[in-house]
Amino acid sequence: MHKLTFSVALAASVAAALAACNSSSDEVAAAPPPAAEAPAAAPLDAELVTLISAHAAATARDPGPRTAAAGTGAALKGLTPSELRAFNLSKDDFTSAEDVEGGLGPTMNLDNCGGCHAHPATGGTSPTVNPEVAFATLNGARNVLPPFVTRNGPALVPRFVKNADGSLDGTPHPLFTITGRADAPGCSLAQPDFAAAIAANNIVFRIPLQLFGNGLVEQIPDQEILASQAASAAARLALGIKGHPNRNATDGTIGRFGWKAQQVSLLTFAGGAYNVEMGITSLQFPVEREQDPACQLAPTPNDIGDLNAATAVEGLASPDKFAIFMRFLAPATPSANTPGGAASIKSGKALFESTGCTLCHTPTLRTASATVAALRKQDVNLFSDLMLHDMGDVLADGVVQGQAGGREFRTTPLWGVGQRLFLLHDGRTSDISQAVLAHASPGSEANEPVRKFLQLSDTEEQDLLNFLRSL
Ligand code: HEC
Ligand code: HEC
């Protein structure tokens, strides 16, 4: 038995080596697949456990989301007049609701991008009132709200961890169908069986990510990401922080968008979101996810643009317009004095570095050459290394995406976090201090920085929290 296994494995590796030599496809040779469940990690040491429970008595508080305008929703400075026109036209499309005739559904979470990417301005994240609630029954739709979708909770996109046969799933399962809508005669579909998924502990969630400044993120060269990572190697090693990129399988470049850095470009993300969140097919993703013949009420791909449009931009397919809007969207402007005053924010910034947060939340990366002048040679103050890190048992979701394993996530860019209402990949908390504590658990690469965070005095911790909410 052993011998057989060995020879099969050997034959497979020889075949793989041969295939790599003779490869005539575009695919880059794949790394070993990442694990959905990493091997059991050592429990937290007694000191860290004590520090975590003692933190309940801390007096430092999350000052809460900042409310003053932070320049969000505006276009980047330095766009040409025609780029600015394209931005404004594309923004309209980003916020306009689609109907079934336009390709909406048969299954989806919402009818426009802007509903989920709404706070504190168009292009942001989940707003105070979850748009999924009203959409469930819009235009006669007969959807039942699953218990996890609540009016004051975040917009949620569910994924199932495993298929019925026990194999890995990990894909999004949209909340709703077009059944009952006035514009969807004859279509009758059941929503996914969320009750069964909850009972089987087989459901995990993602909340929307903010889009401000993402044109700059798209433009950061892989070399810059890797050089920055290399520069912190010794400091990371000392604290047990690793980090690796999520290289995509098509051309091997570094993925940077999504909670697991699963996409390299805004255009691919836009095409994917159009199909997953709204059920609208395009040239990026031409095949309907739900193919019940009675529910195919628009020709596919649903949106291929319009060659007869009056202007080039108007004629673009929607994913192209969404990508333009996102590429030209300015980043959030941090506040120098709110909350807590300038001295506290300045002190918090220094503590953010001395506790080791910056070893993952890299303050600044830089763009190099760029076709669009406004994106060229710019500082990108994103507070992320764009790497994947093992975040331990507490944050693990068991979803594998490309080279991201079930316990790994991309360091969330913290720019704009000062105004975010919901935090962490599934929106499990709105308290920024709790979001930091959740970084500590068996197997997490962030345990040592959290230990230092917990060793701060109350005043110091307050400074650090003020700094985070100033972003
Ligand atoms: C139902 C809510 C919802 C709608 C509608 C929605 N999104 Fe999102 N968006 C999300 C979620 C959830 C994520 C995180 C996805 C992930 O990583 O799995 C996300 C992430 C993104 C990202 C990645 C941002 C980053 O910094 O990594 C982009 C880009 C994006 N969405 C664009 C769009 C576009 C374009 C549309 C419209 C076609 C859209 N979204 C519609 C929920 C939504
Ligand atoms: C090992 C890398 C690493 C270190 C060190 C680290 N973080 Fe994070 N941080 C992450 C990752 C990955 C996430 C996303 C986790 C998730 O959503 O499940 C995250 C998320 C966050 C969030 C939530 C952002 C949002 O919008 O949801 C905050 C706030 C945050 N980190 C602050 C800190 C602070 C403060 C420190 C230092 C005490 C720190 N982090 C140290 C990797 C790290």
* pLDDT tens by residue, 290-337: 999 999 999 999 999 999 999 999 999 999 999 999 999 999 999 999
Minimum-distance ligand 1 atom for the alpha carbon of 262: 17
Tokens of 224: 């810059």
- Does residue 58 come out as left (phi exceeding 0), alpha (psi in the -120 to 50 range) or beta? beta
- Tell me how far the alpha carbon of residue 296 lies from the centroid of ligand 2, in angstroms: 42
The domain limits of the chain are 46-65+221-255+334-470, 81-210+262-327
Cβ count within 10 A of residue 7: 10
* Tens digit of each residue's pLDDT (9 = 90 or more) over 196-217: 999 999 999 999 999 999 999 9
**Spatial contact of 348 and 464, defined as CB atoms under 8 Å apart:** yes
* Tens digit of each residue's pLDDT (9 = 90 or more) over 375-390: 999 999 999 999 999 9
**Spatial contact of 36 and 202, defined as CB atoms under 8 Å apart:** no
Tokens of 160: 């199932």
pLDDT on residue 5: 34
- Tell me how far the alpha carbon of residue 208 lies from the centroid of ligand 1, in angstroms: 5
* Tens digit of each residue's pLDDT (9 = 90 or more) over 392-435: 999 999 999 999 999 999 999 999 999 999 999 999 999 999 99
Closest CA to 455 of 384, 377, 351: 351
DSSP assigned state of 138: G
The finding on whether 435 has its CB within 6 A of some atom of ligand 2 is yes
* Tens digit of each residue's pLDDT (9 = 90 or more) over 114-148: 999 999 999 999 999 999 999 999 999 999 999 99
Euclidean distance between CA atoms 117 and 112, whole angstroms: 9
Ligand nearest to the CA of 155: 1
Pocket test for ligand 1, best of 91, 135, 157, 283 (most atoms within 8 A of CB): 157
Residues 446-471, mean pLDDT to the nearest whole number: 98
Tokens of 113: 């991008």
The percentage of the chain sitting over the pLDDT mark of 90, rounded to a whole number, equals 90
The finding on whether 420 has its CB within 6 A of some atom of ligand 2 is yes
pLDDT on residue 140: 98
HSE value, Cβ hemisphere, 13 Å, CA-based, for 388: 27
Inform me whether the pLDDT recorded for 361 exceeds 50: yes
Closest CA to 271 of 298, 301, 241, 251: 301
- Long-range Cβ contact pairs of 425-431 (< 8 A, separation 24 or more): 425/205, 425/206, 425/207, 425/259, 425/395, 425/397, 426/156, 426/204, 426/205, 426/206, 426/207, 426/397, 427/126, 427/153, 427/154, 427/156, 427/205, 427/207, 431/62
3-state secondary structure of 399: coil
Euclidean distance between CA atoms 124 and 374, whole angstroms: 21
Inform me whether the pLDDT recorded for 9 exceeds 60: no
Tokens of 180: 């009952």
Tokens of 147: 């218990």
pLDDT on residue 318: 98
Class of domain 46-65+221-255+334-470: mainly alpha
pTM for the complete prediction? 0.94
The finding on whether 207 has its CB within 6 A of some atom of ligand 1 is yes
CA torsion 11→17→22→24, rounded to 10°?
Answer: 100
Q: How confident is the model at residue 111 (pLDDT cuts 50, 70, 90)?
A: very high
